[in-house]
Amino acid sequence: MEKRARVLIDCDDAKGLVYKISKVFYDRDLNIDNNREFVDKEHNRFFMRTVVTGLFEIDELLSALQAVAPKDAHIRVIIPKDKKIVILATKESHALGDILIRHASGELGAEIECVIANHDTLRELVERFDIPFFHIPAENLNREEHEAKVMECIDQHDFDYMVLAKYMRILTPTFVKAYPQQIINIHHSFLPAFIGANPYKQAFERGVKIIGATAHFVTDDLDEGPIIAQDVIPVNHRLSWKDMQRAGRDGEKIVLSRALALVLHDRVFVNGNKTVIF
What one-character-per-residue DSSP string does 85-129 give? EEEEE-S--HHHHHHHHHHHTT-S-EEEEEEEESSSTTHHHHHHT
Paired strand residues for 133: 115
Closest CA to 145 of 182, 185, 118, 181: 118
The per-residue b/e assignment along 59-89, b for 16 or more CB within 10 angstroms, e otherwise, is eebbebbeebbeeebebebeeeeebbbbbbb
Helix (H, G, I), strand (E, B) or coil at 159: coil
Vertex 55: Cα angle to 50 and 57 (nearest 5): 80
Count CB-CB contacts under 10 A for residue 248: 25
The H-assigned helical ranges of the chain are 17-27, 58-68, 94-104, 123-128, 143-154, 173-178, 199-206, 241-264
Q: Which residues are marked as active site?
A: 223
Q: How far apart are CA 72 and CA 70, in angstroms?
A: 6
Q: How far apart are CA 147 and CA 144, in angstroms?
A: 5
Specify the pairing of strand 133-135 against strand 45-54.
Answer: unpaired
Q: How far apart are CA 229 and CA 108, in angstroms?
A: 16
The CA-atom distances, in angstroms, between 246 and each of 144, 211, 249 are 32, 11, 6
